[in-house]
Structure 1
Amino acid sequence: MVDMITEWVSAAGYAGVLALMFLENLFPPLPSELIMPFAGFAAARGELSLTGVVIAGVAGTVLGNALWFELARAFGADRAKRFCERFGRYAGVTREDLDAAESALRRWGPMAVFIGRMMPGIRTLISVPAGLIEMPRHIFYAWTLAGTFLWVGGLALLGYMLEDAYTRIEESIGGAGKIFVGLGALLLVFYGYRAWKRRRR
């Protein structure tokens, strides 16, 4: 499984890493916790360079966050909150979510953007209230770039360093491990479906 995913990331190249990380910040097909370590695996095998992988991952992430930030600035706080009151339950972002994120930003300022870039579930959302309160662009992008570099670079480096260990683990687990991975994926789909049903209700 490690070989299969790593070969796929390697075949996609830097443009593929950039595109996946961009999409991860719009409507996540895969989390960065999977994308970047496998890109690091490919770098460890000499199929990509570690520097190139990090640059592509950072670029894709910043572009995805820039889209949310600029849309939020253009949309405005009042319209965004009215939109969330009406349609937020479908997107999983409520008026209360925006109010809480906005409050954190006003309290902690740019540090909230920096730390938020390394927190699952917050990484993309933090860009919206930053745009709504019209955080100066140079501050938003500087802190987003810094936090993104640490997160993405750390994940890629982890994959680069652990490539051999992951390969040995997969070989020792064998077919049983693949069965457990498949069952885990089915459970994730099941719980995701239940959460979606609850949200619709």
Structure 2
Amino acid sequence: MDFITSYINQYGYIVLFLALMLELLALPLPGELLMGYAGVLAFQGHLSWVGSILVAGMGSMVGMTIAYGVGYKLGTPFFDKYGLVFRA
């Protein structure tokens, strides 16, 4: 988590967008904690409230769209065959 917070301090909105997008693609990233940290940075004046909310929403929507596209493209036969490998 320390490396993510240092990247957010350095790159701001880009890291927030990518982290929330990748979280929805089944990578174990702590999205809720990142949003809390973004709130702290917004309170301190390093990020804007509106910008953080918009970037987080866009990152989440892009991640959900990619996950849906992968599921739609691969379909049920893929997950029936390889589902045990991708089991949560």
Q: Please state which band the TM-score falls in when normalised by the shorter chain.
A: 0.7 to 0.9
User: Is the Cα–Cα contact under 8 Å of residues 17 and 55 in structure 2 kept in the other structure?
Assistant: yes
Residues in 2 aligned to 1:60 and 1:44: alpha-carbon distance in whole angstroms: 21
Residues in 2 aligned to 1:52 and 1:41: alpha-carbon distance in whole angstroms: 14
29-38 vs 66-75, which moves further: 66-75
Q: TM-score normalised to the size of structure 2? A: 0.81
TM-fit CA distance, 1:36: 0.7
Please point out which of 55, 59, 84 is paired with 2:79: 84
What's the counterpart of residue 9 of structure 1?
8
TM-fit CA distance, 1:28: 2.1
> Which structure shows the higher helix fraction?
1
Residues in 2 aligned to 1:68 and 1:40: alpha-carbon distance in whole angstroms: 27
SS of residue in 2 equivalent to 1:90:
coil
Q: Which runs of 5+ in 1 are unaligned?
A: 94-201
Report the CA distance shift for 1:83/1:5 in structure 2 as closer, same or farther (over 3 A).
closer
TM-fit CA distance, 1:71: 3.0
What's the counterpart of residue 61 of structure 2?
62
What's the counterpart of residue 181 of structure 1?
none
Q: Give the residue type in structure 1 aligned to 2:66.
A: L
Which structure has more RCO (C-alpha within 8 Å, separation ≥ 6)? 2
Q: Give the residue type in structure 1 aligned to 2:70.
A: L
Residues in 1 aligned to 2:44 and 2:65: alpha-carbon distance in whole angstroms: 32
User: Is the Cα–Cα contact under 8 Å of residues 14 and 53 in structure 1 kept in the other structure?
Assistant: yes
TM-fit CA distance, 1:11: 1.7
Q: Give the residue type in structure 1 aligned to 2:82.
A: F
Residues in 2 aligned to 1:74 and 1:26: alpha-carbon distance in whole angstroms: 15
TM-fit CA distance, 1:68: 1.8
Residues in 2 aligned to 1:6 and 1:72: alpha-carbon distance in whole angstroms: 31
What's the counterpart of residue 51 of structure 2?
52
Q: Give the residue type in structure 2 aligned to 1:36.
A: M
User: Is the Cα–Cα contact under 8 Å of residues 9 and 16 in structure 1 kept in the other structure?
Assistant: yes
TM-fit CA distance, 1:9: 2.0
Aligned residues: 88
SS of residue in 1 equivalent to 2:12:
helix
Q: Give the residue type in structure 2 aligned to 1:57.
A: A
Report the CA distance shift for 1:90/1:5 in structure 2 as closer, same or farther (over 3 A).
closer
